[in-house]
Structure 1
Amino acid sequence: MDPARTHKKVPVAELNRSACLGPDGAVAQVTRCLKMISGRWKLPILFRLYADGMQRSSLLLRDIPDISQKMLTQHLRELEADGLIRRTDFGEKPPRVEYRLTDRGEGLMPVLLSARQFSEDYDQLA
């Protein structure tokens, strides 16, 4: 086999390539996951919520250097829309809102921690 044609090494039966490349295949699912976490501030937000369990937006602003209120709000809304975090508004004056990971967000964290470990291991090999 030509070494440049590595895509043929994917362990999928020749007649069932849609399991990998189809609209609901592995590539589409991983791409969907990557879109959920893409954005400069989404990973820092997820890791802060994972570390502390619950955060108010003022604490996230303080703990994540250089993030603006606008970008924090935008990314929190996107993460909430994707079902990775839950927003709890207590309906108080002054407003009190807390954010925490959902079960789906908790399920994503082992994947992100594995990616971190992969990166650390990769650096040691380089």
Structure 2
Amino acid sequence: MMDGTSTHLYVPTSQEEREVCLGPDGSVAHVTRVIRMIHGRWKLPILFRLYADPSMRTLQLKRDLPGISQKMLTQHLRELAVDGLVERIDFREKPLRVEYQLSEMGRQLLPVLIAARRFSTSHPA
């Protein structure tokens, strides 16, 4: 079984070790899932903007993220919502009023992103 001393160069030798790392429910699958959830040019900027404000309307997000198109903002917000990182709150008002906020799962992702930043700054390119 893999322990805390293993590195990225570790090659699992037994079937059990391979399953822990490479199996359908293994480490690789779970890390890949998280990377897929945040992959996209605007997903991280959206998430970090929502970390700063608890709830935001689409127009406010668009204003705070210069260069993002309405189409991309809508697409990324939908994907983040499907993945459970943000919640869409429809106030069922006319004119339409919708806000986005981080879900509990989205808030739990913040320490992971901070750790990634810390890793990057301590290992410059």
Q: CA deviation at 1:34?
A: 0.6
1:14 counterpart letter in structure 2 = S
Mapping of 1:101-116 within 5 angstroms? Answer: 101-116=102-117
Task: Find the residue that maps to 2:96 and give its secondary structure.
Answer: coil
Separation in structure 1 between the aligned mates of residue 42 and residue 100 of structure 2, nearest angstrom = 15
Structure 1 residue 121: Cα displacement: 1.2
Gaps spanning 5+ residues in structure 1: where?
1-5
User: Cα distance 1:93–1:46, how it changes in 2: closer, same or farther (>3 A)?
Assistant: same
Distance 1:120 1:8 in 2: 22
Segments of 5+ residues of structure 2 without an aligned counterpart are 1-6
After superposing on structure 2, the runs of 4+ consecutive aligned residues of structure 1 that deviate more than 6 Å are none
SS of the aligned residue for 1:9 comes to: coil
Amino acid at match of 2:89: T
Q: 1:31 to 1:62 in 2, by over 3 A?
A: same
Distance 1:8 1:45, change over 3 A: closer
| Aligned-residue RMSD, C-alpha | 1.7
State the TM-score, normalized to the length of structure 1.
Answer: 0.87
- How many pairs does the alignment contain? 118
Query: Percent identity of the aligned residues?
Result: 62
Q: TM-score, normalised by structure 2?
A: 0.87
